[in-house]
Amino acid sequence: MEQLTRLVTGTKAFESLWKQFSADRFAHAYLITGNDPEYLKEFLLYAGAMALCPKGGCFSCVVCNKVFAGEHVDVHVYPKTKDKILLADISEILDDCYVKPFEGDRKIYVLNNCDTLSPLLQNKLLKTLEEPPENTIFFLGATNESTILATVKSRCQQVRLDDTSFEEVMKYLTSSGISEADAEIAACFADGRPLTAEKYATDRSFYKIFDEVTETVKSLSSSKDALKASAKLSSYGAGTQTVLRMLLLLYRQTLAAYADEEMLLLKHKKNDILFIKGMYSPEALYRVVDLLTQAKIRLDGNCNLSAVIDGLVLSILEVKYSCRR
Ligand SMILES: [Zn+2]
């Protein structure tokens, strides 16, 4: 919590809201966008807490704690259980938002995943955003801004939650007690999304798979290894996209090792990466990265999993040999 508060309060997005709220200026609706859905959810709660906190955003008083615990009667967070806000949720919001707040002088609606709202539901919500009830603040969160209707955007003050650098994600993870070696992999893998990185970092099976994938790459030296590698990489079922992203990370880091070993992000995996570097020429690595990108697309397009992986492994071997160092 302490680390998260430090991360949130250090952003420009937070500063801009804090300046407004402390000057007693509140818009009726904010559209807050960012690249990490988990981080965005937390950020919206901080914004809600700040709008209600008698101390202007201490994040430790009774009011703030109630907001974070989901126990504040004037704070309504959607979706309630599923990933998507439903028609029933929107109807409930429209009925309920005109009722006066119970505890304080303001009511807060936190609407996560607004990018999954259909145009129909956005239009329903729009009516309320056009004629907002007094003392009600809507915080809309979206990772994909392009799905939000222009009419909805025009009724909201737009705030962009700052991207987080690799170094900031590392600092956040290690100060939360995660080892540097684990933090590196999670931070790389989450690509600047701090709370997504934290989710990986606290999941041991994530690291187990990463190690298995690394060993599979290291053992893939000739066509006699192809069958075993295919079987292993296909064995993760729904996790295959994750496996492909891990492969991409490993091969990209190996390419980076050709440029400058000191620039490696996966410093604790340096020995593995140098081992893989010994197996591939830079040209082969470029082509493997291409092959992986194509395989990801084919898998997204619902192509047969084993067919995609079998083809991928054979193509990697082919590239490895045709672009020998
Ligand atoms: Zn407070």
- What are the residue ranges spanned by the domains of the chain? 2-160, 166-202, 204-322
Q: How far is the CA of 132 from the centre of ligand 1 (A)?
A: 25
% pLDDT > 70, the chain: 100
Query: What confidence score (pLDDT) does residue 167 get?
Result: 94
Alpha carbon of 224 to ligand 1 centroid (Å): 63
- Report residue 240 as tokens: 């295959």
Residues 6 or more apart in contact with residue 38 via CB below 8 angstroms: 193, 195, 196, 198, 199
Q: Compute, in angstroms, the gap from residue 18 CA to the centroid of ligand 1.
A: 13
Identify the helix (H) or strand (E) that includes residue 70: none
As a residue count, the chain comes to 325
Could you give the C-alpha distances from 104 to 49, 73, 80, 108, 208, in angstroms and in order?
A: 12, 9, 22, 11, 48
Contact 201, 184 (CB under 8 A): no
| Interval 137-163: pLDDT, tens | 999 999 999 999 999 999 999 999 999
d(CA 95, CA 133): 11
Distance in Å, CA 67 to ligand 1 centroid: 9
| Structure confidence by residue, pLDDT tens digits, 260-285 | 998 899 999 999 999 999 999 999 99
Fold type of domain 204-322: Zinc Finger, Delta Prime; domain 3 (1.20.272)
CATH superfamily to which 2-160 belongs: P-loop containing nucleotide triphosphate hydrolases (3.40.50.300)
Find the 56 Cα to ligand 1 centroid distance in Å.
7
Q: How far is the CA of 47 from the centre of ligand 1 (A)?
A: 11
Please report which confidence band the pLDDT of residue 305 belongs to, taking 50, 70 and 90 as the band edges: very high
| Residue 158 alpha carbon to ligand 1 centre in Å | 24
Residues 251, 292: contact at Cβ < 8 Å?
Answer: yes
Q: What is the pLDDT of residues 46-92, one digit of tens each?
A: 999 999 999 999 999 999 999 999 999 999 999 987 789 999 999 99
Whether residue 306 is predicted with pLDDT greater than 80 in this model: the reply is yes
* CA 59 to ligand 1 center in whole angstroms: 5
pLDDT tens readout for residues 96-113: 999 999 998 899 999 999
Distance (angstroms) between ligand 1 centre and the Cα of 66 equals: 9
pLDDT at residue 325, rounded to an integer: 66
User: Residues 159-179: what's their mean pLDDT?
Assistant: 95
pLDDT at res. 82: 76
60 C-alpha to ligand 1 centroid (Å): 5
Distance 196 CA to ligand 1 centre (A): 26
Ligand 1 mean position to 138 CA, how many Å? Answer: 19
Q: How far is the CA of 13 from the centre of ligand 1 (A)?
A: 19
The whole-chain average pLDDT of the chain stands at 94
Answering whether pTM is above 0.85, one says yes
Distance 52 CA to ligand 1 centre (A): 8
